Amino acid sequence: MVDEHKGHDTVSASAGRKEKQTYLRETQRSFQQRLLEREKKLQELRKAVETLKCSAQTAVEDSEKIFTEMIRTIERRRSEVTELIRAQEKAEVSQAEGLLKQLEQEIAELKRRDAELDQLSHTEDHIHFLKTFQSVSNTPETTDVSSICVNQGLSFEAVKKSVSSLKGQLEDFCKEEVMKISAAVTNVQAILLLEPTTREEFLHYSCHFSLDPNTANRNLHLSDDNMRMEGRDELQSYPDHPQRFPVWWQVLCSEGVSGRCYWEVEWSGVVYIAVSYKSISRKGRGDECKFGCNDQSWRLRLTSSDSSFWHSNNETKLPLVASSRIGVYVDHRAGTLAFYSISDSMTLLHRVQTTFTHTLYPGFMAGTKSSVKLL
């Protein structure tokens, strides 16, 4: 009986081993496949890192060379302006000194003649007086001083203003171009991150924003540490500022977006939820100042009865949004802008795929008794 039991155990173990052996082979094949995938990915990543290093070094060397050439160009222009000023100074001084010398000579001659006339007027020798009178009374040839207009207020101040203006323009231009360069640099990625799909994943990219009082239209009341805005008929006592929207009831945030960013807002009434370049026009009633009506901005328009997306004055009708909470996602490098309705679930309202050339700033508009609050 013992031998029979042992034989039975051996058969059971053999069958069990056979079953497990099949599973083991499948597991081993899975491991080997995963191993091959990782070894391949390892080689790809190593190659990408080497390529990145070589490309970065080339970019640094090229940038240094180009910036050195630009500095030399600026130095040449500086020398040209200095030479222009010195040449004008030399020409004007030479002309003035020539005239100075001539006037000094004429003054000396006139003083000499005046002295002779004075002396002659006191002589008691009538014959001497008559003989000398003709020679000393002739008026010497002199410059017509009435034709000389001396510029007492002459100054190179206008040159200073022009150079200062050039400096300001170059600084603004360089700032804009460096932002473009920065965007181009950050677009060079060895590892491409997948776009988030759940609200939890989106919240990993949460950004903090605050409304910029210097941009707020005077019909917008800001509160809650500049986190909430409300449209009102009565004007707010904001000081004049070149960044303020004087006509459209709009405001921009102080902080910009140049990478991945997600934020949520609560809204009520009639509102725009937008992103915009800081360079959007401010003065006037034209489309160039209004969110979504130009190539500088993108907006989601929300009311209790309809909703739509606007860019470059082109409207895209959207389904009615019932939720009072909206999520906005930007991937600046990838050129992605997406608006979501947030309730128990996260619903995509509209998605844009484009190329962003400057830093984006969240912006909002609110009608009378309408409000937006950053969360």
CA distances from 202 to 193, 194, 323, 329 (A): 13, 11, 18, 8
Section 306-319 average pLDDT? 96
The 220-223 sheet, strands edge to edge = 220-223, 228-231, 371-374, 260-268, 325-331, 336-342, 346-353
Which of the pair, 3 or 257, is modelled with greater confidence? 257
pLDDT tens-place string over residues 328-342: 999 998 899 999 999
Which tokens go with 285? 């009633």
Alpha-carbon gap, residue 241 to 212, rounded angstroms: 11
pLDDT at 113: 80
Is pLDDT of 139 > 60?
A: yes
Mean pLDDT of the chain: 89
Classified as helix, coil or strand, 213 is coil
Model confidence at 2, in pLDDT bands (50, 70, 90)?
very low
pTM of the model: 0.57
* Least confident range of 64-73, 99-108, 245-254: 99-108
pLDDT at 99: 85
Which tokens go with 346? 């996260």
Which tokens go with 327? 């999520």
Give CATH superfamily name and number for 199-374: SPRY domain (2.60.120.920)
Looking at mean pLDDT, say which of 23-32, 42-51, 140-149, 349-358 comes out highest: 349-358
Alpha-carbon gap, residue 308 to 272, rounded angstroms: 10
The residue ranges of every structural domain in the chain are 1-154, 199-374
Section 214-242 average pLDDT? 96
Specify the pairing of strand 260-268 against strand 371-374: antiparallel
pLDDT at 7: 55
Model confidence at 51, in pLDDT bands (50, 70, 90)?
confident
* Best CA proximity match to 186, nearest among 355, 334, 362, 336: 334
